[in-house]
DNA sequence: TTGTACGCGTTATCAG
DNA sequence: CTGATAACGCGTACAA
């Protein structure tokens, strides 16, 4: 039982080696102005030589203002968010803040994570990317620092007015837009791959838009054509889309078209159709939602609703900083999507 | 200038409210055995009521053994790693450890990140997922805690013997395996979408295997058919594959087949071929590497080298814990891949 | 320009 | 079973 381990090197060691006080080393590390170039260099050399790395826990504990923004992403697997994160990182760095990303699973509470992080890192603000904020008001109040809701299912009924800063698309409108488009292509029996049965967020809204479009065109809503995601499969995933489509194909319900509430599910649908020996768009049209990069590369290229993720990301961060600087109150910006008409949809075959 | 903010609630407040000492609260929080159920409940209630959340920085600072494993992932976008991370999380939780994931970009130093994290969180061990460990020996020595290299380009010449625990595939062999397969399909002019020109890791090894296969079949290596990734585009991405393939298609060099060193690049190649009005596999065969989920769903389904990522992930964590428990020395396990023959490749057309 | 000393919130130790 | 107290490593008033 020897103690041959952990001679961890601290700021004191560096100070001792350089024959200076710890505060001088601290100043050197944090680029304070009031330090002579000579001592600063000496300290830098010692740090390099001994491979000293400051302990972040200690720093965070002592620090008042971390100059740090957290981006809390719900759903690692959403490829849409990869771009958003990158843009946010650039914007945050541009303002001399540091950024910390935290990915949370669908079964985790993003607000709890943020609250914990805020304490730990002395955050200046938080960007919530994705996630639903239904019945989270109380929790959000416990988060004492400014935050924005980005690409969140936040135009939900529950979250009204200017309580929060929200940057998102109008899921109802976009659900309508796509459905309307599909109907104009001649489709009447449009199956839909939607969210969870108890979804109260984007899935619910897109579905609402779908139904409204049908009604306006005088088409009855057929509940049998509304499929819900499986709870035990990753949400909005290819596999979930695949499974739902298989059910459709083996069922007795007729349909000519599938509207999936994510591009990933649309791709799953395409594969299921191919596996059944049918063709997209000849036998069935398939449309997605999101505008992920893969939709471009897929064969056939996916017809979809493209979310302006770049603008959303940019605007979210910009506004967060304006709020931090007290230059702005909460705002709520709804972004318009673009309907990309591509290869996976076509006019309904006239028999 | 009022001070109307941050009445942050700490462990002391809870202690005061409950009429106990802070150490008792600490014990309650950390589930220490030596505490009466009654006080424990009282404390739990107070925590609930006041919404107290412990400060992680302070905890980490004081804590000796964090019972925490870090997984450092190089390349967020690699879909292969999503599965691996999930498996690792399960295994780590099963052993009552917590897990922290950190995604690093290609231009970041994963070892530095790990060293910093180790100090900050008092880590027990680290799993490096992806990443190349060429000329990193000195740095890895500074990381004083046990670690394993998983799916790393670690069977590189530079990293020899049993210095580290390594879990990976034999990239040279698998590069050979695929090339050999393609040659047996009748292809002689096989273009390859490889890594960076100065790659010293997986890209280099797969290329080595490719060349060896050609030579063994008596086919001369044509350097013009060896394309390298663009530095300014995300590595191993669809876009990178697309660009390289476009160059191939517009160039004067003949080829009948493309071997891409990632499935993503293979998909990019398929799209470029489609955009040029050609067909896969009728006009060109395309093969990938990795075995990502998308290869299953893509149209045509991708012929590829499937890495046994589940086994690699499982084994990596298992061995890390054995090393932590001093039950094992460093090991080096090479996993064998599976060649999935699917729709994107076919026999060379006989003209 | 530099050094000393205190405190951030928590856990480990030790004495009751 | 419980409480007081000393660290943990760093940043920052304040003194020099």
CB contact under 8 A, A57 and B57: yes
DSSP state of A130: S
Which candidate from A53, A61, A300 shows the least CB-CB separation from B115? Answer: A53
Please give the C-alpha separations between residue A342 and each of A246, A296, A346, A348, in angstroms, as whole numbers. 23, 9, 9, 15
Q: Is A282 on the interface with B (CB under 8 A)?
A: no
Distance CA A141, CA A135 (A): 12
Closest CA to A174 of A340, A348, A293: A340
pLDDT tier at B132, thresholds 50, 70, 90: confident
CB B285 within 8 A of CB B107: no
Per the structure, the residue whose CA is closest to nucleotide D4 at C1' is B21
Per the structure, the residue whose CA is closest to nucleotide C9 at C1' is B58
CB A142 within 8 A of CB A93: no
Which candidate from A56, A115, A121 shows the least CB-CB separation from B116? Answer: A56
pLDDT of residue A10: 92
Distance CA A37, CA A43 (A): 10
Measure, in angstroms, how far nucleotide C7 C1' is from residue A62 CA: 8
pLDDT tier at B291, thresholds 50, 70, 90: very high
Nucleotide nearest to A63 (CA to C1'): D11
pLDDT tens digits along A211-253: 999 999 999 999 999 999 999 999 899 999 999 999 999 998 9
CA B132, B138, B139, B141 torsion-angle sign:
positive
pLDDT of residue B156: 54
Nucleotide nearest to A26 (CA to C1'): D11
The token duo for B113 is 């990140």
Which candidate from A8, A76, A294 shows the least CB-CB separation from B82? Answer: A76
Greater confidence, A314 or A137?
A: A314
Question: In this structure, how many other beta carbons lie within 10 angstroms of the beta carbon of residue A316?
Answer: 28
In Å, how far from its chain's centre is CA A276? 33
Measure, in angstroms, how far nucleotide C3 C1' is from residue A20 CA: 8
Q: Is A297 on the interface with B (CB under 8 A)?
A: yes
pLDDT of residue B64: 82
State yes or no: pLDDT of A159 exceeds 60: no
Please give the C-alpha separations between residue A285 and each of A184, A227, A247, A256, B47, in angstroms, as whole numbers. 13, 16, 17, 7, 54
Per the structure, the residue whose CA is closest to nucleotide C11 at C1' is B62
The token duo for A272 is 């299921």
Give the largest CA-CA distance in chain A: 90
Measure, in angstroms, how far nucleotide C9 C1' is from residue A111 CA: 22
Q: Is B28 on the interface with A (CB under 8 A)?
A: no
Q: Is B158 left (phi over 0), alpha (psi -120 to 50) or beta?
A: alpha
Transcribe B250-318 into DSSP letters.
HSS---SEEEESSHHHHHHHHHHHHHTT--TTTT-EEE-SB--HHHHHSSSPPBEEE--HHHHHHHHHH
State yes or no: pLDDT of B154 exceeds 60: no
Distance CA B148, CA B317 (A): 8
Nucleotide nearest to B15 (CA to C1'): D3
Kindly list the residues from chain B whose CB atom is less than 8 angstroms away from the CB atom of residue A326. none
State yes or no: pLDDT of B46 exceeds 60: yes
pTM for the whole thing? 0.90
State yes or no: pLDDT of A152 exceeds 70: no
> Mean of the pLDDT values across residues B95-110?
89
CB contact under 8 A, B57 and A58: yes
DSSP state of B225: G
Q: Is A82 on the interface with B (CB under 8 A)?
A: yes
> Mean of the pLDDT values across residues B72-81?
86
Write down the number of H helices and E strands in chain A.
13, 12
pLDDT tier at B262, thresholds 50, 70, 90: very high
> Mean of the pLDDT values across residues B84-112?
90
Nucleotide nearest to A59 (CA to C1'): D10
Q: Rounded to a whole number, what is the distance in Å from the CA of B106 to chain A's nearest CA?
A: 13
Kindly list the residues from chain A whose CB atom is less than 8 angstroms away from the CB atom of residue B77. 82
Measure, in angstroms, how far nucleotide D1 C1' is from residue B37 CA: 11
Could you give the 3-state DSSP secondary structure of residue B104?
Answer: strand
Measure, in angstroms, how far nucleotide C15 C1' is from residue B23 CA: 14
Q: Rounded to a whole number, what is the distance in Å from the CA of B84 to chain A's nearest CA?
A: 13
Distance CA B71, CA B80 (A): 14
Tokens 């990193």 -> residue: B136
Q: What angle do CA A87, A93, A94 make, to 5 degrees?
A: 90
Measure, in angstroms, how far nucleotide D15 C1' is from residue A20 CA: 16
CB contact under 8 A, A238 and B297: yes
In chain B, the domains with their CATH numbers are: 11-60 (1.10.260.40), 68-169+308-336 (3.40.50.2300), 171-306 (3.40.50.2300)
CB B162 within 8 A of CB B148: no
Question: In this structure, how many other beta carbons lie within 10 angstroms of the beta carbon of residue B138?
Answer: 9
pLDDT of residue B144: 84
Closest CA to B131 of B65, B191, B200: B200
Kindly list the residues from chain B whose CB atom is less than 8 angstroms away from the CB atom of residue A51. 142
CB contact under 8 A, A120 and B57: yes
Measure, in angstroms, how far nucleotide D2 C1' is from residue B45 CA: 19
Could you give the 3-state DSSP secondary structure of residue A269?
Answer: helix
pLDDT of residue B299: 96
Percent of chain A predicted with pLDDT > 70: 94
Distance CA B269, CA B265 (A): 6
Measure, in angstroms, how far nucleotide D15 C1' is from residue A12 CA: 20
Question: Could you say which residues from 98 to 137 on chain B have a Cβ atom under 8 Å away from some Cβ of chain A?
Answer: 101, 103, 115-116, 119-121
Which of B8, B29, B49, B57 best probes binding to A when mutated, by most A CB atoms within 10 angstroms? B57
Interface residues for strand D (CB within 7 Å) are A 8, 10-12, 22-23, 26-27, 29-30, 54-55, 58-59, 61-64; B 19-24, 27, 33-36, 38-40, 58, 61-62
Write down the number of H helices and E strands in chain B.
13, 12
Q: Rounded to a whole number, what is the distance in Å from the CA of A177 to chain B's nearest CA?
A: 27
Measure, in angstroms, how far nucleotide D11 C1' is from residue A25 CA: 11
Which candidate from A82, A121, A293 shows the least CB-CB separation from B238? Answer: A293
Q: Which positions ≥6 away from B203 have C-beta within 8 Å?
A: B153, B194, B195, B196, B229, B261
Q: For B267, which residue in chain A has the nearest alpha carbon?
A: A297
pLDDT of residue B153: 59
Distance CA B149, CA A15 (A): 35
Q: What are phi and psi of B275, to 5 degrees?
A: -65, -25
Contacts by A320-325, CB closer than 8 A, 24 or more apart: A320/A69, A320/A125, A320/A127, A320/A146, A320/A147, A320/A148, A320/A165, A321/A95, A321/A125, A323/A125, A323/A146, A323/A148, A323/A165, A324/A124, A324/A125, A324/A146
pLDDT tier at A312, thresholds 50, 70, 90: very high
> Mean of the pLDDT values across residues A49-58?
90
Which candidate from A57, A101, A270 shows the least CB-CB separation from B61? Answer: A57
Nucleotides of C under 7 A from a protein CB: 1-5, 7-14
- The burial class, CB within 10 Å (0-12 / 13-18 / 19+), for B219 is middle
CB contact under 8 A, A238 and B294: yes
pLDDT of residue B123: 92
CB contact under 8 A, A57 and B121: yes
How are beta strands B68-74 and B285-287 bridged, if at all? unpaired
Distance CA A236, CA A288 (A): 11
Nucleotides of D under 7 A from a protein CB: 1-5, 7-13
pLDDT of residue A160: 52
Distance CA B61, CA A8 (A): 13
pLDDT of residue B7: 65
């Amino acid at each position: 039982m020897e103690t041959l381990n952990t001679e961890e090197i601290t700021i004191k060691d560096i100070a001792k080696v350089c024959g200076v006080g710890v505060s001088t080393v601290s100043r050197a590390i944090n680029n304070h102005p009031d330090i002579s170039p000579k001592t600063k260099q000496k300290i830098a050399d010692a740090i390099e030589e001994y491979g000293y790395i400051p302990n972040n826990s200690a720093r965070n504990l002592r620090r008042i203002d971390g100059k740090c923004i957290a981006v809390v992403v719900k759903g690692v697997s959403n490829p849409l968010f990869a771009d958003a994160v990158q843009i946010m990182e650039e914007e945050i760095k541009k303002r001399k803040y540091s950024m910390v990303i935290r990915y949370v699973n669908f079964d985790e509470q993003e607000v709890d994570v943020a609250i914990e992080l805020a304490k730990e890192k002395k955050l200046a603000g938080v960007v919530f990317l994705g996630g639903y904020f239904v019945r989270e008001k109380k929790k959000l109040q416990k988060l004492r620092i400014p935050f924005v809701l980005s690409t969140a299912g936040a135009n939900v009924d529950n979250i009204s007015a200017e309580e929060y800063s929200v940057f998102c698309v109008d899921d109802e409108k976009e659900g309508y837009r796509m459905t309307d488009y599909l109907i104009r292509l001649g489709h009447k029996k449009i199956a839909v791959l939607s969210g969870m049965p108890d979804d109260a967020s984007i899935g619910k809204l897109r579905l609402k838009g779908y139904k409204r479009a049908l009604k306006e065109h005088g088409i009855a809503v057929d509940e049998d054509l509304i499929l819900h995601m499986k709870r035990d499969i990753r949400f909005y995933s290819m596999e979930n889309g695949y499974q739902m489509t298989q059910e459709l194909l083996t069922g007795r319900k007729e349909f000519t078209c599938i509207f999936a509430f994510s591009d990933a599910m649309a791709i799953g649908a395409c594969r299921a159709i191919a596996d059944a020996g049918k063709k997209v768009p000849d036998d069935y049209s398939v449309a997605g939602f999101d505008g992920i990069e893969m939709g471009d590369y897929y064969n056939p290229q996916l017809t979809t609703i493209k979310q302006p993720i770049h603008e959303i990301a940019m605007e979210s961060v910009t506004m967060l900083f304006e709020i931090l600087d007290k230059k702005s109150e909460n705002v709520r910006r709804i972004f318009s999507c673009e309907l990309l008409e591509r290869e996976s949809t076509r006019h309904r075959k006239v028999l």
